[in-house]
């Protein structure tokens, strides 16, 4: 079983060493850096399951490191290590995208519990991203695996039909013009007739609407099409 990798960015080497030993005992792969600049470099260039980030660091503060991590769209879980009286740092850190914080001095059991919690949440979100599911009423579309199910019945769509349905679902409750559909499903350089949209809407409806109790795709006369629904 692959072990979770944790990076500790903490300038107090004794604290970093104690945390490292405890985490290694718990079965994590652990490495440490002692400056903000070096910690940021390693976060940006390597894959980590979680980062323990001290707020008070030389070269770059922990908050600045966090800001740059999130600005790069890196969603690695980050737990801040802060001084007990640094309420503003906690607030700013959470606003910048920290997943949690632990105040010094702390009990190692508390830190371990917060690490387990952050990793569970991260793994759950990662699974959701791996298999994005779009839902409306009794229709489910599994985007990654190209599966469509309605009322527990598996439905086969061609690649173009599937792309069209996904686009409609991603814009649920929004009226989409034929031109918008063409641009986003067929591509901006498509030079054919917009009637192709009507043709493919008819194909998709035949498969996901006509044999079921109510329609998913609706026509808005003179404008285009939309999917109406309350839930994804």
- SS3 of residue 164 by DSSP: helix
- Other C-beta atoms within 10 Å of 211: how many? 11
What's the pTM value of the predicted model, to 2 decimals? Answer: 0.58
Encode 79-108: b = buried (16+ Cβ within 10 Å), e = exposed.
Answer: bbbbeeebeebbebbeebebbbbbeeeeee
Under a CB-based contact definition with an 8 Å cutoff, are residues 6 and 116 in contact?
no
Fold of 133-227: Arc Repressor Mutant, subunit A (1.10.10)
Place of tokens 């044999």: 211
Question: pLDDT tens string for the chain (232 positions)?
Answer: 689 999 999 999 999 999 999 999 999 999 999 999 999 999 999 999 999 999 999 999 999 999 999 999 888 999 999 886 677 878 888 899 999 999 998 999 999 999 999 999 888 777 666 678 899 999 999 988 889 999 999 999 999 999 999 999 999 999 999 999 999 999 866 777 778 999 999 999 999 999 898 999 999 999 999 998 764 4
Residues of the chain with CATH 1.10.10.10: 133-227
Place of tokens 């499903």: 185
- SS3 of residue 184 by DSSP: helix
> What pLDDT does residue 6 have?
98
On whether the 5-130 domain is CATH 3.20.20.70, my answer is no
Q: In terms of DSSP H, where are the helices of the chain?
A: 13-25, 36-45, 62-71, 87-96, 108-130, 159-170, 178-181, 195-208
Residues of the chain with CATH 3.40.50.2300: 5-130
> What pLDDT does residue 126 have?
74
> What pLDDT does residue 232 have?
40
> What pLDDT does residue 129 have?
66
């Amino acid at each position: 079983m692959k072990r979770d990798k944790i990076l500790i960015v903490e300038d107090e080497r004794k604290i970093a060493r104690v945390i490292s030993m405890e985490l290694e005992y718990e079965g994590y792969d652990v490495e440490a850096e002692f400056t903000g600049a070096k910690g940021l470099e390693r976060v940006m260039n390597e894959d980590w399951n979680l980062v323990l980030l001290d707020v008070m660091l030389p070269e770059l503060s922990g908050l600045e490191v966090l800001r740059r991590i999130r600005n790069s769209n890196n969603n690695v879980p980050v737990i801040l290590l802060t001084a007990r009286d640094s309420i503003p740092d906690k607030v700013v850190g959470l606003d910048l995208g920290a997943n949690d914080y632990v105040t010094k001095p702390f009990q190692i059991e508390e830190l371990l519990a917060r690490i387990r919690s952050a990793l569970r949440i991260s793994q759950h979100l990662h699974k959701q991203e791996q298999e994005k599911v779009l839902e409306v009423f009794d229709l489910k579309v599994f985007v990654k695996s190209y599966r469509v199910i309605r009322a527990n019945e598996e439905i086969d769509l061609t690649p173009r039909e599937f792309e069209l349905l996904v686009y409609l679902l991603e814009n649920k409750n929004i009226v989409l013009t034929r031109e918008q559909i063409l641009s986003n499903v067929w591509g901006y350089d498509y030079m054919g007739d917009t009637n192709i949209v009507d043709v493919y809407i008819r194909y998709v409806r035949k498969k996901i609407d006509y044999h079921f109790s109510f329609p998913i795709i609706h026509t808005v006369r003179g404008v285009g099409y939309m999917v109406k629904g309350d839930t994804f």
